[in-house]
Structure 1
Amino acid sequence: MARTKSFVESEVLDKALNLFWTQGYNATSIQDLVDHLGINRASIYDTWGDKHGLYLETLRQYRRNNSSKLLEKLRSEQSAKKIIKDFLDDIVADSSTDAMKKGCYLSNSATELANCDQVINDIFTDNRIKMEGVLNELIKEGQESGEFSTRHSSEAYARFIFNTAGGMRVLAKGDISEAELADVVSIALSALN
């Protein structure tokens, strides 16, 4: 007879995500997870297979949570320019309030593991393709309404904005002011004009 779980998976995933985000994958041991999550090794192995399986599920949860926030903004009646500005401004705001300078969980994962873990590489690549697709649609809409230049293709601008967002997240892990990041946003938006 299967034993019932004495924990809520989504809550444990949130705790695991926070620990991995703070320490990184390689620096987090199974014992760290047991201590931090308040569940035993057997529960980790039974539920996620191993540390890697748990890590992958935290990445998926992170993507689900962040995708829903962006989709909510996309469904608003705001202009394409306003949505992209808010997207970049949110990175500035998040970075300026992140005392631990954790950066973006998905970007951190890619930097730490994508070159040696094909599954992580695939998750990161899929996220990039989907995000660029969303940005492409917004920029195309902005080009059609006259908000954005047609000097470059909507695909090229989408790649540029996605790259700018990723670069800002990496910069925010070091010593950079909110005003300096705001300058990046201002110049990125001016490139769309």
Structure 2
Amino acid sequence: MPKSVSFDRAQVIDQVTKLFWRKGFHATSMQDLVDATGLNRSSIYNTFGDKYQLFEASIRHYQNGQSETVLQSFYKSLSPLESIHDFFLSILASIKEDKERRGCFLSNCTTELGKSDVNIQGLLIANKDAMVGLFEQKLVAAQNAGEIALDKNVRLSALYLFTSLQGLQVTAILMSDQRDLDALVERILENL
């Protein structure tokens, strides 16, 4: 009779996400995964597959958490531009809370594997497309509310916001002055 699994799958995914986020895919060993989860190798392989499959699960786990952050900001009863501002402020707050200065897990994945792994690249592109789509919806709503000019190219502006978000999260790894981060967010939004 097979041994029953006696651990919380979601908790394990959360633990390995934090590990991959801190170390990256290539620098994380199977032993690191064993140590982080407290599971033996066979339990990891039997339940989750190999390191790569765990990494994919970690990306999806992180994306789900990020989606909740976006939705919390975008579906408050704020004006369209205020909701974009609120979203950037929530990202800024999480950057400031991160004492390890890990940056964004997805941005880190992009720089580590975005060019070399087609499957991971697909996950990252899907995330980009979803974020750009949400920004675009908010910008169209901002146009309709008279918050931005009707002749503004919302697709390009949405790509600008996504690019700014990625750049902010990567640059924050290297910045220690919180006032500069605050000023960057304000500058990003002023350029809309």
**What TM-score bracket applies, with the shorter chain setting the length?**
over 0.9
Residue 21 of structure 2 aligns with which residue? Answer: 21
AA matched with 1:18: K
Residue 4 of structure 2 aligns with which residue? Answer: 4
| CA–CA distance in structure 1, aligned partners of residues 59 and 39 of structure 2 | 20
Report the CA distance between 1:162 and its aligned residue: 0.8
Report the CA distance between 1:176 and its aligned residue: 4.1
| CA–CA distance in structure 2, aligned partners of residues 73 and 11 of structure 1 | 26
1:38-83 alpha-carbon deviations (Å, 9 max, x no partner): 0011111111210000010011011111102212332221111111
- The reply to whether residue 123 of structure 1 matches residue 123 of structure 2 is yes
Residue 169 of structure 2 aligns with which residue? Answer: 169
1:76-155 equivalent positions in 2, closer than 5 A:
76-155=76-155
Report the CA distance between 1:100 and its aligned residue: 0.7
AA matched with 1:184: L
Instruction: Name which of structure 1's ranges 86-95 and 156-165 shifts more when overlaid on structure 2.
Output: 86-95
AA matched with 1:80: P
| CA–CA distance in structure 2, aligned partners of residues 93 and 111 of structure 1 | 23
Instruction: Name which of structure 1's ranges 144-153 and 26-35 shifts more when overlaid on structure 2.
Output: 144-153
Q: Is the 8 A contact 2:92 2:181 kept in 1?
A: yes
| CA–CA distance in structure 1, aligned partners of residues 129 and 173 of structure 2 | 24
Q: Which runs of 5+ in 1 are unaligned?
A: none
Q: CA RMSD in A?
A: 1.3
Report the CA distance between 1:22 and its aligned residue: 0.9
DSSP-derived class of the 1:152 partner: coil
Q: Which runs of 5+ in 2 are unaligned?
A: none
AA matched with 1:53: Q
| CA–CA distance in structure 1, aligned partners of residues 151 and 173 of structure 2 | 33
Q: Is the 8 A contact 1:92 1:178 kept in 2?
A: no
Q: Is the 8 A contact 2:73 2:84 kept in 1?
A: no
Instruction: Name which of structure 1's ranges 181-190 and 9-18 shifts more when overlaid on structure 2.
Output: 181-190
| CA–CA distance in structure 1, aligned partners of residues 2 and 148 of structure 2 | 58
AA matched with 1:41: R
Report the CA distance between 1:2 and its aligned residue: 4.3
DSSP-derived class of the 2:77 partner: coil
Residue 74 of structure 2 aligns with which residue? Answer: 74
Report the CA distance between 1:96 and its aligned residue: 1.9
Residue 35 of structure 1 aligns with which residue? Answer: 35
